[in-house]
Structure 1
Amino acid sequence: MTRLPLILALACLLAACDQNMDQQPRYSGYSRVPLFRGSVLRPPPANTIARDDLAREKSAGSKPALTPELLARGRQRFGIFCSPCHGAGGDGTGIIVQRGMPRPTSYHDDRLLAADDQHFFDVITNGYGAMYSYAARVPPADRWAIVAYIRALQLSRHASLDDVPADERSKLETSP
């Protein structure tokens, strides 16, 4: 009688040895499954919002105030993400262009001088022509900083002496 429970326990343990826990049955992400009448990937429920989407949308919709810190951040981000194609001056002669890639439109082109800030933000977000989207690489606050720096580049090339404040203008007129 005492051997029966021991034999049953040993039989259960030996029966479990046949299952390979490393190779369990599963479906790949895009395979069709009869249970779901379609793909394994299921659409999210209606009105579902991903984590941090509301904060991201809020920062994308509100243009920050122009400050020296914003311009400094925009210059840094422009140097990292934009200057390889657009060049340091925004004229479309970056190192990538020198290696044979298509030349992007200069920021000093009349069409882009007349474009609003939202246009530049949308192009960074969604891409345009040969330029791919930077939405996953550049957060919205940095996109606005880059837009501010692009405007500073445009202003630096197309500004007149009348655009300079009077006290700074006198310094420029007296310098050799």
Structure 2
Amino acid sequence: MRLAIGLIGLVLLAACDTGTEQRDAVASTRTVQRPYVPVPPGTIARGTAAQEAALAPPGPQVTPDLVARGEERFRAFCSPCHGASGRGDGTVVSRGFPPPPSYHEERVKALSPEQIITVITRGKGRMYSYADRVLPEDRWAIAHYIKQLQRDAGASVGQGEASP
């Protein structure tokens, strides 16, 4: 009887698929390796068209609500590095991270909201992309809030110079 059970077990083990028939196409983690197949031209990922439309200039109308939303999103996503005033003095800088550029530098003041959105979307320098973290409509809000920060800082500097 033991011999019969042993033979049946041996037959069953021999019939098992070991997964080694295609050993050349299997990595050490047993994941099948397939060649890279490029995406066909003209293919659009799901949701991409709507996202691109949301990012297209001129963007939403600038309203106080949009700027307020931009301030909220700025404080959540941008202020840790750029600081609450946009001067590049956020909390991560105080902990040793290299400071990002101030929004009040002339070259950054010259950026349009569309260019700011491009930086938020793609990243630049040490700043990584926020495309998967910040919604397109929130990117517009942040860009317009940054432009308001720049205008407000310019107005306060101008007022300060007029005073004796």
TM (normalized to structure 1)? 0.70
Which amino acid is the alignment partner of residue 50 of structure 1? Answer: A
Matches within 5 A, 1:112-127: 112-127=108-123
SS in 1 for 2:124: coil
| Distance change in 2, residues 1:19/1:75 (3 Å) | same
Q: Which residue of 1 aligns with 2:48?
A: 53
**Are 2:98 and 1:102 equivalent residues in the alignment?**
yes
Q: 1:23 to 1:52 in 2, by over 3 A?
A: farther
User: Rg: which structure is higher?
Assistant: 1
Structure 2 unaligned residues grouped into runs of 5+ = 1-7, 159-164
Alpha-carbon spacing, 1:22–1:77, altered in 2? closer, same or farther (3 Å): farther
- Structure-2 separation of matches of 1:45 and 1:111: 39
Amino acid in structure 1 at the alignment position of 2:16: Q
Provide the C-alpha distance between the structure 2 equivalents of 1:94 and 1:108, rounded to a whole number of angstroms.
Answer: 15
Identity of aligned residues (%): 44
AA aligned opposite 1:116: S
Q: Which has the higher contact order (CA 8 A, sep 6+)?
A: 2
Helix, strand or coil at the partner of 1:100: coil
2:16 equivalent to 1:19 = yes
Report the Cα distance in structure 2 between the residues aligned to 1:94 and 1:105, rounded to whole angstroms: 11
Moved more, 105-114 or 42-51: 42-51
- Cα distance in 2 for partners of 1:114, 1:17 equals 73
The number of equivalent residue pairs is 143
Task: State the partner residue of 2:127.
Answer: 131
Give the CA deviation at 1:126.
1.2
Change (3 A) 1:84 1:22: farther
Distance 1:67 1:21 in 2: 64
Matched AA of 1:43 = P
> Which residue of structure 2 lines up, in the alignment, with residue 42 of structure 1?
37
Matching of residue 71 in structure 1 with residue 67 in structure 2? yes
**Structure 1 residues 95 and 24, CA gap change in structure 2 (3 angstroms):** farther
Provide structure 1 residue ranges, at least 5 long, that are not aligned to the other structure.
1-10, 34-38, 163-176
Aligned equivalent of 1:169: none
Match of 1:157 in 2: 153
TM value normalised by structure 2: 0.74
